[in-house]
Amino acid sequence: MTFRAFAIAMTRVWTGRIKNRGLVGLVMAKVLNLDEVDLDGRTVLVRVDINSPLDPVTNVFLDDTRIKRIIPTLNKLSKSKVVLLAHQSRPGKKDFTSTLGHSRELGRLLGRTVKWVDDIYGKKALTAIESLEDGELLMLNNVRMDEEEISTKGDFDVMAQTQMVQNLSMIADAFVNDAFACAHRSSPSIVGFTNTLPCIAGELMNYELSKLSQALDNPARPCIAVLGGVKVDDSVIVADNMLRNDVCDHIWVTGGVANLFLFISGIDIGDVNVDFLKGELKGSWDSTIAMASELLMDYPECIIMPSDVALHLEGNRVDEPLKNLPLEGQIFDMGITSIQSLSRAIKSAGTIILNGPAGVFELSDFALGTVEMLNACAEGDGYSVMGGGHTATLVSKRGLADKMGHVSTGGGACLDLLAGRTLPGVASLEESAKQFRFSISKPLDHQ
């Protein structure tokens, strides 16, 4: 590893303060950033999160926001040999694909060729990396096609033992993490290089960390979280952290998260809706139910559920109050009354943290809850932080981005950070900076 002898300048990059009522903490990341290092002529692994919504039939990109957002980092590495590590969805999901389309889309946006190889760390990938010239870009295939990426559990050293990290560390000089949106996941491609290569925060990573820390610097009250979408297990953990750490005054639940809370509070939401939740949660059903039940018991006044729902019945939207359940048909949105209550709450909140759609927004009849809550954020005076790929896509499609406080590229990562959890991807950058913080041009600035 030649880079150990090669110096990297250092300074403190990002310092953010979190001051919450009941939680006064200091979130401080001392990580290396791209302005502090000279990576010209070097082989640089760059982990990005360009996991994007794809058309279920054609696989065409429905939104390229995340791809656009990595361009500042790539521009800073314009004289390096850049090797991109990325994922799309996860095994078993319909949109789990190769990254070939991502490389083409990135090439189109950059106006430059982005090479692609159908391999991650085998012979084909290593040969392609070795033949890169300065200024060239190569994207490896979906890292989640590697079994170890999906299943390895353990600390940084365990991750470093994986074949991906072993092979790629041999051939690269540095690792840049620009994948803020999956910084909450601990996997070889996110944290495995901590002790094997100098790990540096990319431009997007730094931007997200500084914007989100601003959002939590004395947030205006009331602070509400609006949690929806189908990553219900993640959302319940976040809700738990947010309420127990006093980050939020109220949590409004929508989408699949609302269905789960309605279910555990004794509302008969109908077999079809329970089965859908079970299908999404799979092995985490029991633990999610247990955590949500305890949270509801401890914070009954703070978790606000819809009072009515919109069902998908014979192709139509049918709004019904909870007392009329169960009915046949899937719950595809909040009902009108609930949408109005949520809009009012958003407009009178000082801070709004919103993640995930309120319903099946892809069907126009059921987009109402999602669209109205976003409109309320844009119209209200509160500072709104939007998290999650779907939410970010909708915000940009509806032209609301400049009316929001911050539109994060992260969903779970954004929420975890706001809930006060340490993100493994950020912890890895901090840890690596401690080891690789040395410079040819400047003495170490111990802080």
Q: Tell me how far, at minimum, the Cβ of 99 lies from ligand 3PG, in Å.
A: 13
Residue written as tokens 């919504």? 53
The DSSP 8-state label assigned to residue 66 in this structure reads H
User: Residue 79 or 90: which CB sits closer to ligand 3PG?
Assistant: 90
User: Residue 232 or 310: which CB sits closer to ligand 3PG?
Assistant: 232
Q: Which residues are registered as beta bridge partners of 383?
A: 351
Number of amino acids touching ligand 3PG (CB under 6 A): 9
Binding pattern for the stretch 31-60 against ligand 3PG, x by CB under 6 A and - elsewhere? ------------------x-x---------
Interface segment toward ligand 3PG; rule CB under 6 A; list 30-38, 181-189, 292-300, 358-366 = 181-189
70 binds ligand 3PG (CB under 6 A): no
Residue written as tokens 């976040």? 238
Query: Nearest residue to ligand 3PG, using CB?
Result: 51
How many whole angstroms separate alpha carbon 207 and alpha carbon 256? Answer: 30
Q: Tell me how far, at minimum, the Cβ of 52 lies from ligand 3PG, in Å.
A: 9
Taking a C-beta distance cutoff of 8 angstroms, is the pair 404, 391 a contact?
no
Q: Tell me how far, at minimum, the Cβ of 227 lies from ligand 3PG, in Å.
A: 14
User: Residue 16 or 411: which CB sits closer to ligand 3PG?
Assistant: 411
User: Residue 160 or 182: which CB sits closer to ligand 3PG?
Assistant: 182
Looking at this protein, which amino acid is placed at residue 18?
Answer: I
Q: Tell me how far, at minimum, the Cβ of 241 lies from ligand 3PG, in Å.
A: 17
User: Residue 30 or 68: which CB sits closer to ligand 3PG?
Assistant: 68
Taking a C-beta distance cutoff of 8 angstroms, is the pair 171, 138 a contact?
no
185 binds ligand 3PG (CB under 6 A): yes
- Going across the sheet that includes 316-321, the strands are 316-321, 308-313, 330-334
Q: Tell me how far, at minimum, the Cβ of 334 lies from ligand 3PG, in Å.
A: 22
Backbone angles phi, psi at 217, to 5 degrees: -85, 95
Q: Tell me how far, at minimum, the Cβ of 51 lies from ligand 3PG, in Å.
A: 4
CA distances (Å), origin 440, targets 7, 9, 199, 289, 444: 5, 7, 17, 54, 10
Interface segment toward ligand 3PG; rule CB under 6 A; list 5-13, 102-110, 177-185, 315-323 = 177-185
How many whole angstroms separate alpha carbon 318 and alpha carbon 310? Answer: 5
Out of 27, 34, 84, 182, the only residue in the binding site for ligand 3PG (CB under 6 A) is 182
Q: Tell me how far, at minimum, the Cβ of 71 lies from ligand 3PG, in Å.
A: 18
372 binds ligand 3PG (CB under 6 A): no
Sequence length of the chain is 447
Interface segment toward ligand 3PG; rule CB under 6 A; list 125-133, 178-186, 327-335, 392-400 = 178-186
Q: Tell me how far, at minimum, the Cβ of 321 lies from ligand 3PG, in Å.
A: 33
* 314-339 burial: b if 16+ Cβ within 10 Å, else e: eeebbbbebeebeeebbbbbbbeebb
User: Residue 121 or 180: which CB sits closer to ligand 3PG?
Assistant: 180
Nearest CA-CA partner of 390 in 361, 417, 413: 361
Interface segment toward ligand 3PG; rule CB under 6 A; list 76-84, 97-105, 179-187, 272-280 = 179-187
- In 3-state terms the chain splits into helix, strand, coil percentages (rounded to 5) of 45, 20, 40
Contacts of 8 (CB under 8 A, 6+ apart): 32, 36, 37, 38, 174, 198, 200, 436, 437, 438, 439
Binding pattern for the stretch 381-420 against ligand 3PG, x by CB under 6 A and - elsewhere? --------x---------------------xx--------
Strands 199-201 and 32-33, by their bridges, are parallel
Out of 31, 85, 164, 181, the only residue in the binding site for ligand 3PG (CB under 6 A) is 181
Residue written as tokens 């111990």? 446
Q: Tell me the HSE value of 284 on the side-chain side, using a 13 A CA sphere.
A: 14
User: Residue 411 or 424: which CB sits closer to ligand 3PG?
Assistant: 411
Contacts of 362 (CB under 8 A, 6+ apart): none
Q: Tell me how far, at minimum, the Cβ of 48 lies from ligand 3PG, in Å.
A: 10
190 binds ligand 3PG (CB under 6 A): no
Interface segment toward ligand 3PG; rule CB under 6 A; list 96-104, 119-127, 180-188, 280-288 = 180-188
Residues that bind ligand 3PG (CB under 6 A): 49, 51, 90, 181-182, 185, 389, 411-412
